[in-house]
Amino acid sequence: MDKLGSMKMFVGVAEAGGFAKAASRAALSTAAVSRAIMELEASLQTRLFNRTTRQISLTEAGRRYLEHCERILNEVALADAEAMGAAAQPNGRLRVHATASFGQHYLTPLLARYTQQFEDVSVDLVLAQRTPDLLEERFDVAIVVAQTLKDSSLVSQRLGTSRSVLCAAPQYLARRGTPLDIGDLERHTCVQLTRQDLPVLAWEFEGQHEGEPARTFRPTQQAPLTVNIAEALGEAIRAGMGIGMLPIPTALQGMRDGTLVQVLPGARLKPFNVFALYASRQYLDAKIKTLVEFLREAVPRRMAEHEQELQLLNARYDHDVVCES
């Protein structure tokens, strides 16, 4: 027996004042409506209507039951409207997970713009160097930086690519010399950025010219430092510990004030993809949909701005070197 359906039928009969009118409004037969009410009364072991050949009226128990049914059906209607509204209008709390460096340099300022645009959405952003279990930890969206994704039932949307560069402190290069080729890195101290879900044990370079194969550099000496946060690695490189790979926004912080220099600017490291992961494409919550669409447009634009600034800083550094010589 469909209890909720029977409640709706009971309320319909009470409002219509008869089985025939209620049946007409519900596009059912009078017999079907009468049978549904009889089954409801049987399940409750209570008579809800007094019946005569001309009219029906609610019993005392029926009047009390009607009040409860109307309240329950109103709550169901409100719940349905709220759930349908979540798919149409962004609102509520949005739980987002991202890695520390990407979250700090890209996601945080972009989320500030997103919440200005969608004022009914508030964001709970968690930064950690791992990929979470979205369902277990109740995240709506995870932003993942990886070359490829593991097989999963999650939906993924590619937001763009994130590139890193090799950097060193000027005092380190003055002491150890500036590498002119990838092979020259063998003679240098290399510090490493590594994460549990993205271990970087080698530096992979794209071919410098069309058709040229990619190259991989694996440090032969044990790294004097490995660290899982790009900003911490940047501080170690700034202190002259060696050459390391940094995401562009982290490198820019030191390049702006001259405490970091890009090494081998002509050798491009293989980029990482940036993905937004969420649980399902079906009946997607509006706040998740709008966030992913917002990031697909905003992230590549912000990355292009960083690339442009990187080129300008390299040009300024080259100009300064020429002037000093």
Residue of 170, 143, 139 lying closest to 257 (CA atoms): 170
257, 273 Cβ separation under 8 angstroms: no
Range list of β-strands (E), the chain: 49-51, 56-58, 92-98, 121-127, 141-146, 155-162, 164-168, 190-193, 203-205, 215-217, 226-227, 243-247, 261-263, 272-278
Output the pLDDT for position 274: 93
Q: What is the pLDDT of residue 6?
A: 87
Phi, psi of 115 (to 5 degrees): -70, -25
- Helix, strand, or coil here: 267? coil
Domains of the chain: 3-88 (1.10.10.10), 92-162+273-305 (3.40.190.10), 164-270 (3.40.190.290)
pTM recorded for the entire structure: 0.69
The letter for the amino acid at 97 is H
Q: What is the pLDDT of residue 152?
A: 73
Cβ-in-10-Å burial (0-12, 13-18, 19+) of 187 comes to exposed
Given a contact cutoff of 8 angstroms between Cβ atoms, the answer to whether 299 and 110 are in contact is yes
- Cα distance between residue 280 and residue 302, in whole Å: 27
pLDDT (0 to 100) of residue 74: 81
CA dihedral 215, 208, 195, 256 (to 10 degrees): 140
Q: What is the pLDDT along the chain (325 residues), one digit of tens a residue?
A: 588 888 888 999 998 888 988 898 888 898 999 898 999 999 999 999 998 877 889 999 999 999 999 888 888 877 776 666 555 578 889 999 998 889 999 999 999 999 999 999 999 999 988 878 887 888 999 999 887 887 677 888 899 998 999 999 999 999 999 999 999 999 999 998 886 655 557 888 887 666 677 788 888 778 888 888 899 999 999 999 999 999 999 999 999 999 999 999 988 998 889 999 998 766 678 898 899 999 999 999 999 999 999 999 888 876 566 566 5
